[in-house]
Amino acid sequence: MKLIGKHLTVDMYGCSFEALDNLEFIKSAMLTAVKEANMTLLDFSSFKFEPQGLTALALLAESHMSIHTYPELGYAAIDVFTCGAHSRPDKAVAVLKNFLKPERVKTTNIKRGDFGSEKDMKPKVKISVAPLRRIRNTGARVIKLLSRSK
């Protein structure tokens, strides 16, 4: 099966409380990232939590981008999933880094739909016969021991 899309999960640590708790700032960052990364915005939805934090979702023609913020921890969890070759999820992440200015970033790149060869798609089953063999061998030894005592 061919590669369907690119999915970047990004953990940003050490962001400012103010940036992570400002819905208009996050919306501006996301819309800029969408534009710079050559993505097509279909809809934008968000929710501001009390006393702090927010969730924002950009529904894209190519898939989606989401941000969940934890201002009290200085942490943002970001997802950028795109299908097709023309969008640049890595560029979107770079734009978000410029806005949020994290101290540390952890990015995981997932290739969606890429199972490799057909052989890779089959479930891997591991069977261990060693415990069964041990029981059988123990049983044989007990029978041998009992037959000697006669």
Report which of 120, 118, 107 is spatially closest to residue 6, judged by C-alpha positions: 107
Residue 66 known to be catalytic: no
Token couple for 41: 């915005």
Write the burial class of residue 92 (CB in 10 Å: 0-12 exposed, 13-18 middle, 19+ buried).
buried
Report which of 37, 60, 56 is spatially closest to residue 45, judged by C-alpha positions: 56
Report which of 11, 34, 30 is spatially closest to residue 107, judged by C-alpha positions: 11
Report which of 61, 63, 62, 67 is spatially closest to residue 45, judged by C-alpha positions: 67
Distance CA 63, CA 129 (A): 46
The catalytic position among 63, 64, 87, 117 is: 63
Distance CA 72, CA 17 (A): 6
Residue 7 known to be catalytic: no
The catalytic position among 15, 68, 117, 128 is: 68
Residue 16 known to be catalytic: no
The catalytic position among 66, 83, 117, 147 is: 83
Q: Which residues are catalytic?
A: 63, 68, 83
